[in-house]
Structure 1
């Protein structure tokens, strides 16, 4: 049975506890990474982005342009740093461009 919360808890604390108790963090990370990719890469890259999936600590990005895939492959470490900075935690360790 869930532990009863006192009336002094903030909404943010209650939501964090719900996420932790129900093991929802991987799903929340998936959403956060997709939003971070969309915000950081801009319309040009997003136009050619088919899918963004986080599996463990590896970010899989499916692109429809081979030229863009090649260009982005040269900046993988920068992409990882930008996404982790946007998320304010060290979540993504590697990026696989398909």
Structure 2
């Protein structure tokens, strides 16, 4: 049975504790990174994005356009910093475009 605290917690604190207790942070990071990619890159890039995977601290993005892949490769560091800024924490260290 779950432990019960007599002190009052905010919903944010209760959810944070739940995520930590059940080790759900990595799964939430995967979903948050995918959402951040879609929000930051817009429809033009999303139309050519076929897969987004986060493995450890590396983000793998599969693109169906070699031209777009080449263009995005020039700004990898900026894309990583923008995604981390959007997420509010350093989740991504490297971006691999396939």
For the superposition of Structure 1 and Structure 2, which TM-score range results when normalised by the shorter chain?
A: over 0.9
When the two chains are superposed, the root-mean-square deviation of aligned CA atoms in Å is 1.0
The CA deviation at 1:62 is 0.5
User: What is the match of residue 5 of structure 1?
Assistant: 5
Q: Which runs of 4+ in 1 moved over 4 A?
A: none
Q: Does residue 31 of structure 1 match 2:31?
A: yes
TM-score, scaled relative to structure 2: 0.95
The CA deviation at 1:7 is 5.0
Query: How many aligned residue pairs are there?
Result: 98
Unaligned runs of 5+ in 1: none
* Secondary structure, aligned partner of 2:47: helix
Unaligned runs of 5+ in 2: none
Deviations 1:12-69 (A, max 9, x none): 1111111000000000000000010000000000000001111100000010000000
What pairs with 1:78-93 in structure 2 (closer than 5 Å)? Answer: 78-93=78-93
TM-score, scaled relative to structure 1: 0.95
